[in-house]
Structure 1
């Protein structure tokens, strides 16, 4: 049997890697080895290894168990103490480590419980863990570990700002090492960039009848020509005529949910942000974001004779000097 891979080595990261650095490392490797991009014969297998490593290490609970129990963490019952597990493994190695089928093996001692290996001539049954832990393992044939739940998985979904605002149904196609699949997804109103949408039972397949893992869709908001999003707040550019900015006005502005009226105070300068409270991205369980209309004063590209006459008259009587403003 081939030696177990170390998930940290697979992703080229240290054991204390942060969540953000872990994600960056995964994305870089996934882009390099995805079978749709890399046609090297070994790329698909490498991509599967990368995906499995990231699936485990990106989940806090699975990462904790992997750090505690090593590559076989999925077979360890949830109520086993890591120190008890490590002592049992050390004791098994000291007891000779001979497989019942007659084959031999060695226990390698590494940097801790997560890096040690068991004697692998015939699997975990070779060490008789049931007697060591008082029968807590149970399973088939008195020595098995029972069904293995499927791993949680993660993928990204790109949404327009309008989709994130209103929510709704969306059909997504996901490509993976096992092929493509299409899913109908409900987008809740007000999802933000980086938020995860959970699809129960759509992750990795469980073994021996165990439950399947969950799929988490990470929301990424696509760049928008008009809207800039920061958390739940939205900023939109509001073009104004010079007289609207000078005299004040009430103007309509398009927002992701439709249209809103903005009151322009007299003397509004270009760049001023006018706040529409609660008109940003909605929040199903809290305060919605705000919408900011950023004033931008526009001038006509061409003037009629009457417009030119009026502007010239204004220039003659006005004492306003924009270059002398505080």
Structure 2
């Protein structure tokens, strides 16, 4: 009897090994050895999940499939009980561990039609061998306690799928330069089903076109009661009629009069923090660049870039005769050759 049971166990192990070889090995999926520690498995999973995440590969179906296999492999190998069952029974460990094997049913899910009656010489219809009456208890112990509980036909019902997370939703949000520079609250609408949902979000100072903001659990719903996906905002900063951004600095072309440029003056300049007074030095030429410290683009740490003021001398479109006479006198007394040295 012991010999026959040993042979049957060996044949069962061989079939399990053949079945396992067909399925992808979970250790190979994560790229670790079968002796890998929990930390090694966790590190391998984190590295692959970060590389293959659908958010980084939105149009790559192969990466999506690989990402799912990596998640499934980690789910098994990070659980001591599941890993031990997988190491023992291979890809069929869930069916065996879950009680799907019934020696009286003539077959077993995951064993490709393996018939225990063929192994042990038959025991049905009143002609069974008395020496195998206790076989069910033996096989239950050998397989970890799964001899009972099959559904009709000898096959166990498949467990319901675990709750799946909803999909992430991407939305392009256009914001004015003022909010991008200083930060602030803005509101927008997102299509949810047949209605538009109004959402308010705080924009941090210093964002730029291409920046992303993730709103947790404001995306697509789960198909089976799991958590909602995330809403990912792709920011686009609108152009400003007067200011331009250059990294952490802002630039503005500031018109000044001939008198202000020649004689010098104090002029008001608009900034993100409000209007400030700036000194125009006497004899300032058009194109002169003046700098206002800390009046540029803000950042989350409270610091800010600079405001670069490009001086632009503005001449009047019309001029009266008295003014022309004065300008002529000024020109006659200042005969500097301002174009000296310019050549092709």
Equivalent pairs, count: 226
User: What's 2:222 paired with?
Assistant: 206
Indicate which of 297, 315, 330 corresponds to 1:299.
315
Query: Match of 2:210, SS?
Result: coil
Contact 2:204 2:299 in 1 (8 A): no
Structure of larger gyration radius: 2
Residues 227-280 of structure 1: CA distance to partner in whole angstroms, max 9, x if unpaired?
Answer: 111233211111111222233222111123321222223332222221112111
Q: Deviations over 1:14-62 (max 9, x none)?
A: xxxxxxxxxxxxxxxxxxxxxxxxxxxxxxxxxxxxxxxxxx64337x8
- Check 1:77–1:305 CA distance in 2 against 1; reply closer, same or farther (3 A cut): farther
* Structure 2 match to 1:184: 200
Q: How does 1:91-170 map to 2 (within 5 A)?
A: 143-170=159-186
Q: Equivalents in 2 of 1:148, 1:77: separation in Å?
A: 16
Equivalent of residue 227 in structure 1, options 237, 243, 257: 243
8 Å CA contact 2:181, 2:206 repeated in 1: yes
**Distance (Å, rounded) in 1 between the aligned partners of 2:175 and 2:315:** 34
Report the Cα distance in structure 2 between the residues aligned to 1:66 and 1:213, rounded to whole angstroms.
Answer: 21
Counterparts of 1:191 and 1:312 in 2: how far apart (Å)?
Answer: 51
- Secondary structure of the residue aligned to 1:76 is helix
Residue segments in structure 2 that go unaligned for 5+ positions in a row: 1-52, 78-82, 92-107, 111-142, 144-156
Aligned-pair CA distance for 1:179: 5.8
Q: 1:218 aligns with which of 213, 217, 234?
A: 234
Change (3 A) 1:325 1:318: farther
Q: State yes or no: 1:249 paired with 2:265.
A: yes
CA distance in 2: counterparts of 1:318 and 1:66, whole angstroms: 76
User: What do the CA deviations read for 1:184-240 (whole angstroms, capped 9, x no partner)?
Assistant: 222334433322222221112234332222212122111111011123321111111
Please give the root-mean-square deviation of Cα atoms over the aligned residues, in Å.
Answer: 4.1
SS of the residue aligned with 1:246?
A: helix
**Equivalent position SS for 2:286:** coil
**Residue pair 2:167, 2:230 contacting (<8 A) in 1 also:** yes
Give the secondary structure class of the aligned counterpart of 1:223: coil
The answer to whether structure 1 residue 76 and structure 2 residue 72 are counterparts is yes
Structure 1: stretches of 5+ with no match in the other structure: 1-55, 93-98, 102-130, 132-140
